[in-house]
Amino acid sequence: MVSMDKAVGSLLLGTYFNSALLVMEILQLAHYFRHMNKNDGWMINHVVGIAAFVNLVDTFMTYHSVYLYTVTYWGNVQYLAIQNWPIVVHFVATGFVGTLVQGFMLYRFWRMTQHSITVAILGLFSLASFAGSIGTAVDTSLHPFFSQRGSAGLYVTLWLISGMVADVGIAASLVWRLHRVKTDNQPMKGLLRRLITSAISTGTSTSVIAVIAVFAYLHEPSSNVPVSVTFILGRVYSCTMLYLLNNRSQMRGEMPDGTVEVGLATTFNLGGIYINRTAVITDAVYIFPNASVVPPPETDLKDQPFAGLVDVNDLNSRRSCDSTFSTSSSVSNSSSESESRDTITNAP
């Protein structure tokens, strides 16, 4: 006798969580396309749009699967014993979104570190994850009965475990690279802490879901419980990407006027964040900017899809220059005190 709780009830619960995340994704999408997408190139806009569209198709497939079980074929015990075709589409869609978002994360990691070997290795795990989702879909279509689900174990494990390794690897590599940056500048330490916290939180969310799905499948492969867990996997990937895109300014500690106090740092470009060393004369209230730093034209920055990311290599290579800077303006004779400050002007 087929368990209704495991065959249908688990899928129904999965659609509830999927719907909740759908609302969150729509809100994030609205914010991105209203306020943030103008700062990104066409590539990121297309990645966000494609991920949203595929997730919408995936959500429709999950609803359709539950509808077939609970309405169209209600009471048909033979139909309850098989995996219907919308689930097959769901496997492919979820694997595609996962690989797409991992590609976004890898490119973000590369822009910040320029570490091509790590990116290539983690990219192979991401592609293996997508191949596993395709294999799971093909095997499920060839062996639709739950009693035959054991044959898909290799593909399911490859899909979810490879995706988990890619997610954790991206987060761990970024944390390691950021942790190697040494600075005595307290505001800069705060910036690094925010980036590390963001990397850990975004990398572990999808990994936890993947681990739960694998354990659920290994524990009871002949049910829809592991499938219901994957119902939210694609949504979490998209929400993670949109969270990073929509909160770049907050992670950099940006103030309402578009500047960030960074303390005693030299003038240089941190992957699109321009730090200008300035001297402030307290009595005369004169500001002497470093005239040698000229930010690139606005049009050039908009062509860079990840402008505004911290270049970790640049941080390490220029840390020794923190105490050197030049000013090009004259100082008032009545000035008695002076102080130095850094401001970050964000790339558009």
The Cα 324–Cα 238 span in angstroms is 43
Third-level CATH fold of 4-251: Rhopdopsin 7-helix transmembrane proteins (1.20.1070)
pLDDT at 227 over 50: yes
pLDDT at 287: 47
Of 10-19, 61-70, 124-133, 304-313, which range is least confident? Answer: 304-313
pLDDT at 317: 53
Give span(s): CATH 1.20.1070, the chain: 4-251
Asked whether residue 285 carries a pLDDT value surpassing 70, the answer given is: no
Nearest Cα neighbor of 292 from 261, 312, 269, 273 is 269
Distances (CA, A) of 6 to 13, 14, 70, 126, 146: 11, 12, 13, 30, 11
CB 36 within 8 A of CB 245: yes
Per-residue CA distances from 45 to 41, 99, 123, 214, 278 (Å):
7, 16, 21, 32, 35
Taking only the tens place, the pLDDT of each residue in 169-196 is 988 888 888 777 776 776 677 777 777 7
- Residue 338: what are its φ and ψ, rounded to 5°? -145, 155
Note the pLDDT tens digit of each residue in 90-114.
999 999 999 999 999 898 888 877 8
pLDDT above 50: residue 48: yes
Better-predicted residue by pLDDT, 126 or 82? 126
Token pair for 225: 């419980």
Mean pLDDT of the region 124-133: 95
Mean pLDDT of the residues in the chain:
75
Radius of gyration of the chain (CA): 25
**CA 23, chain centre distance (Å):** 18
**Number of other residues whose CB lies within 10 A of the CB of residue 249:** 17
pLDDT score of 90: 94
Q: Above pLDDT 90, what percent of the chain?
A: 30
- Residue 322 has a pLDDT of 47
Bridge-based pairing state of the strands 273-281 and 286-289: antiparallel
**145 phi and psi, to 5 degrees?**
-75, 140
Provide the pLDDT confidence category of residue 131 given band limits of 50, 70 and 90.
Answer: very high
Q: Residue 303: pLDDT band by 50, 70, 90 thresholds? A: very low
Cα distances (Å, whole numbers) of residue 43 to 104, 120, 210, 300 = 10, 20, 27, 15
Q: What are phi and psi of 223, to 5 degrees?
A: -150, 175
Position 57 pLDDT exceeds 60: yes
Answer whether residue 50 shows pLDDT above 80.
Answer: yes
Per-residue pLDDT, averaged over 224-235, amounts to 90
